[in-house]
Structure 1
Amino acid sequence: MHSLRLRATAEGPEFMSHALRAAASRLEHWIRQDALPLWLERGIAPQTRAHYERLTPEGVPDLAASTRVRVQARQAFFFAAAYHRGWCPEGKATAKALLEFVHQHAAHPTAGAGYTHLLNPEFVVVDTRQDLYDHAFFLLANAWCYRAFGEQQYLDEANTLVAHLDEKFGSSVGGWIEGDYAYPYRRQNPHMHLFEAFLALHDATGDAKWLARVGELFALFQTRFFDAPLGVLFEFFDDNWVRLPNAKGDTVEPGHMMEWVWLLDWYGRRSGRPVARYIDTLYKRGLAIGLAPSGLLYDAVAADGRIIDPNKRCWGITELIKASLVQIRAGNPAAEAIAIKGVEDLFTYYLCASTPGSYVDQRGPQDEVVVDVAPASTLYHLIVAAMELLDHFELVASAR
Structure 2
Amino acid sequence: MNAVTTRTTLHSQTERLTAWLTDCALPLWASRGINPGNGAHYERLLPDGTVDLASDIRVRVQARQAFVFAAAAKLGWYPEGEAVARGILAFLEAEGLNKAAGGGYVRKFDRHFRVVDASQDLYDHAFILLANAWYFRVSRDSAALERAEALSQYLDRRFGSVHGGWIEGDYETDYRRQNPHMHMLEACLALYDAGAGAPWLARAGELVALFQARFYDAEKNVLFEYFQHDWASRNDDLGMIVEPGHMMEWVWLLDWYGQRTGRTMHQWTAPLYAQGLALGRDANGLLFDAVSSEGAVLDGKKRCWVVTELIKASVIRARYGHPEAESIAVQAVDNLFDYYLCAPTPGAHIEHRDADNSIHNPMAPATTLYHIVMAAIELHRHLQVSTSAN
Shared fold (TM-score, shorter chain, > 0.5): yes
| Equivalent position amino acid for 1:42 in 2 | R
Note the C-alpha offset of 1:370.
Answer: 0.6
Residue 300 of structure 2 is matched in structure 1 by 310
Question: What is the aligned counterpart of 2:132 among 128, 142, 146?
Answer: 142
State the alpha-carbon separation in 1 of the partners of residues 256 and 37 from structure 2: 40
2:100 alignment partner, SS class: coil
Q: Deviations over 1:226-284 (max 9, x none)?
A: 00000000000111001221011100000000000011111111011221010000000
Q: Deviations over 1:292-340 (max 9, x none)?
A: 1111110000000001111000000000000000111010011011000
Note the C-alpha offset of 1:150.
Answer: 0.6
Residue 195 of structure 1 is matched in structure 2 by 185
State the alpha-carbon separation in 1 of the partners of residues 176 and 51 from structure 2: 33
- Given that 2:65 and 2:366 are in contact with CA atoms closer than 8 Å, whether structure 1 keeps it comes out as yes
Residue 147 of structure 2 is matched in structure 1 by 157
| Equivalent position amino acid for 1:276 in 2 | H
Q: Does 1:23 align with 2:13?
A: yes
Residues 225-244 of structure 1: pairs in structure 2 closer than 5 A: 225-244=215-234
Residue 86 of structure 2 is matched in structure 1 by 96
State the alpha-carbon separation in 2 of the partners of residues 399 and 244 from structure 1: 45
Residue 338 of structure 1 is matched in structure 2 by 328
Q: Does 1:218 align with 2:200?
A: no
Q: Does 1:116 align with 2:103?
A: no
Note the C-alpha offset of 1:47.
Answer: 2.1
Residues 43-62 of structure 1: pairs in structure 2 closer than 5 A: 43-62=33-52
Q: Does 1:384 align with 2:374?
A: yes
- Given that 2:33 and 2:42 are in contact with CA atoms closer than 8 Å, whether structure 1 keeps it comes out as yes
Question: What is the aligned counterpart of 2:32 among 32, 42, 45?
Answer: 42
Residue 370 of structure 1 is matched in structure 2 by 360
State the alpha-carbon separation in 2 of the partners of residues 75 and 127 from structure 1: 20
State the alpha-carbon separation in 2 of the partners of residues 130 and 206 from structure 1: 24
Q: Does 1:245 align with 2:222?
A: no
Is the deviation greater in 327-336 or in 206-215? 206-215
State the alpha-carbon separation in 2 of the partners of residues 56 and 65 from structure 1: 10
| Equivalent position amino acid for 1:305 in 2 | G
State the alpha-carbon separation in 2 of the partners of residues 91 and 146 from structure 1: 13
User: TM-score, normalized by length of structure 1?
Assistant: 0.96
| Equivalent position amino acid for 1:51 in 2 | H
- Given that 2:108 and 2:118 are in contact with CA atoms closer than 8 Å, whether structure 1 keeps it comes out as yes
State the alpha-carbon separation in 2 of the partners of residues 173 and 242 from structure 1: 10
Q: Does 1:180 align with 2:170?
A: yes
Note the C-alpha offset of 1:197.
Answer: 0.4
Note the C-alpha offset of 1:206.
Answer: 6.0
State the alpha-carbon separation in 2 of the partners of residues 162 and 206 from structure 1: 12
Q: Deviations over 1:90-145 (max 9, x none)?
A: 11111011011011111102122110001111111000001000000000000101
State the alpha-carbon separation in 1 of the partners of residues 174 and 46 from structure 2: 32
State the alpha-carbon separation in 2 of the partners of residues 128 and 397 from structure 1: 48
2:360 alignment partner, SS class: strand
1:308 alignment partner, SS class: strand
Question: What is the aligned counterpart of 2:248 among 242, 246, 258?
Answer: 258
Residue 32 of structure 1 is matched in structure 2 by 22
Residue 274 of structure 2 is matched in structure 1 by 284
Note the C-alpha offset of 1:393.
Answer: 1.4
Q: Deviations over 1:181-237 (max 9, x none)?
A: 111211100000000000000100062111101000011000000000000000001
State the alpha-carbon separation in 2 of the partners of residues 133 and 102 from structure 1: 16
Note the C-alpha offset of 1:18.
Answer: 0.5
Residue 293 of structure 1 is matched in structure 2 by 283
Q: Which runs of 5+ in 1 are unaligned?
A: 1-7
Identity of aligned residues (%): 52
State the alpha-carbon separation in 2 of the partners of residues 321 and 255 from structure 1: 10
C-alpha RMSD of matched pairs (Å):
0.9
State the alpha-carbon separation in 1 of the partners of residues 90 and 106 from structure 2: 14
2:105 alignment partner, SS class: coil
Residue 65 of structure 2 is matched in structure 1 by 75
Number of residue pairs matched by the alignment: 390
State the alpha-carbon separation in 2 of the partners of residues 70 and 315 from structure 1: 15
| Equivalent position amino acid for 1:137 in 2 | F
| Equivalent position amino acid for 1:333 in 2 | P
Residue 329 of structure 1 is matched in structure 2 by 319
User: TM-score, normalized by length of structure 2?
Assistant: 0.99
Residue 5 of structure 1 is matched in structure 2 by none
